[in-house]
Chain A
Amino acid sequence: MRRQLPLAICFVMGISMVVQFFIPHRVSQEFYRTILDWYRIVFAFSLVLGTGTLIKVHWAKISKKSKGWQYSIITIGGLVFMLTVGFITGIQEGTLFMKVFEFVEVPLEATMFSLLAFYIASAAYRAFRARTVEATLLLIAAVVLMLGRIPFGYYLWHKIPGIAEWILTNPNMAAKRGIVIGVGLGMISTALKIILGIERSYIGGGK
């Protein structure tokens, strides 16, 4: 029952959502709208779950005084601060909540991802080797694209931007289309396996 009922729920909901796509009747459409509204609410709760896990992990680190437990105080402190400020001041432009978002969270996240620029430069020097024909093709296409997308490329040879655009709209497009179709077939087969109960990993282990 503990495993059968969830499989049955998944099957019924999955088949209903597929079938309603083809039924324009008022009852079908009303059912469809209701399920979409419920889905959004359930989805919101599922995202909150991640925060619960975060608190659990960091709280355990603090209570056991594991390595780096002092940093976990910063994490929990930041979480509590944002919750308090958010619920007291609201979320409009000009509130303390939005100020902290704009001047603390945005710079931190943007800067963390900008570190990748340095790592890609390091990788370009140390790792990108034209060892095989395929790797050489990859590097040639990359270099042509890099030159084609900057103003300097035009001044180097006026046809470079055109060649870069041709690569994007022809061989690149063909390869990416193959991937899109392949991924699409994979997505449909996975979704069918989930609905039919062949794929059950989402239930987890145990009884």
Chain B
Amino acid sequence: MNLEKLMRIDRRLIFLLIALAVIFPLLFPIGLPTHLSKPVQDTFNAVDSIPPDGPPLMLSIDYDPAAMPELYPMTLAILRHCFSRNIRVLILTLHRAGPGIGEMATTRIAKEYGKKEGEDYVYLGFKPGFGAVILRMGEDIHGAFLTDYYNRPIGEIPMMREIHNYDDIPLVICLSAAAIPELWMMYAGSRYHQTIAAGVTAVSAADYYPFLQTDQLVGLIGGLKGASEYEKLVNELEERLGVDKKRKESLSKEEYEKLQVSHSKASAGMDSQSIAHLVIIAFIVIGNVAYFAQRRKKR
């Protein structure tokens, strides 16, 4: 084998191989099952412990479109979890690209579950200021958000009449590609002892383990794998609650199947993830073998 040629392979060939590694498993699914990890199970349990029609979960959608492939499936899965169990949700965003994403996710899932804005969920929209907004909500959410995303005065929203600050919020989940969960822990966790869980991209997931160990985070959903695990838990929950059965009865076969596919978007990507990882590992091994062989040859 010509080691020189192997070391100087055109990078477009590498691009093609990685593209094929992603495309083929989507066309020909393998269907390997996902195994649950403790941090995701803990997040699920934390959400599940919130009583129905009681104090709301606060969901902070703090990411931009670049992180959507990993965090959007998580957002949909958490909303589906809440709406299946009739848990009320208070949605907001501290990231300037978040409002559009929050609007897309909320209206889609609320429509699917027949949930009413103002009664079952409230979408507060965006506020700039990160830490200042988190701290202000600790004093008074009505002071931080004077209106909701649709410009309705917050005092006039039925769901918001009993919600004033973090004392009325059992759990905050922050979904972010940046360091915003750290700001939630720093401001809401330290000062107001708010219970916090996080959903993050895989890039930063390894960095949050110190906070899991100290219970500053009660749970962590990391990357597409975490999203697929959470999806699996929600799908199992809906089967147990009979939500899935009711859906099957009320929708046409085509509509039901389309919905089932959309409920497993993250899981569908795991086959591609597996093959792509193996290809990258192969690249690392081949690259190192060629490098050491060439080095030995030079000596």
A residues with a Cβ closer than 8 A to B are 21, 29, 32-33, 36-37, 39-40, 43-44, 47, 91-93, 98, 101-102, 105-107, 109-110, 112-114, 117-118, 120-122, 124-126, 128-130, 139, 142-143, 145-147, 149-152, 154-155, 161, 165, 168-169, 172-173, 176-177, 179-180
Contact = CB atoms under 8 A, between A and B. Distances in A.
Interface in B250-266: none
A150 B210 contact: no
B273 interface: yes
A180 B210 contact: yes
**Chain A interface, DSSP helix/strand/loop, else mixed:** helix
Given A92-B103, A154-B35, 9 more contacts: A47-B96, A102-B104, A118-B19, A129-B291, A147-B277, A151-B274, A169-B209, A173-B213, A179-B207
B169 interface: no
Contacts of B135: 32, 36
Interface of B: 7, 9, 11, 14-15, 17-19, 22, 32-35, 37-38, 64-69, 96, 99-101, 103-104, 107, 127-129, 132-133, 135-136, 139-140, 143-144, 149-150, 191, 202, 206-207, 209-210, 212-213, 223, 225, 270, 273-274, 276-281, 283-284, 286-288, 291
A106 B273 CA distance: 22
Nearest to A158: B35
B129 A152 contact: no
Nearest to B210: A177
B66 A112 contact: yes
A155 B35 CA distance: 11
Contact of B132 (A21, A43, A112, A142): A43
**Chain B interface, DSSP helix/strand/loop, else mixed:** helix
B32 A152 contact: yes
Contact of A172 (B127, B202, B209): B209
Contacts, number: 156
A145 B209 CA distance: 14
Contact of A130 (B17, B274, B278, B288): B288
A37 B143 contact: yes
18 contacts: A36-B129, A36-B132, A36-B139, A40-B129, A43-B132, A109-B66, A118-B18, A121-B283, A125-B9, A128-B284, A129-B291, A147-B277, A150-B274, A161-B37, A168-B209, A172-B206, A173-B210, A176-B207
Given A33-B140, A118-B14, A176-B210, A40 B133 contact: yes
B284 A98 contact: no
A205 B274 CA distance: 53
Contacts of B281: 143, 146-147
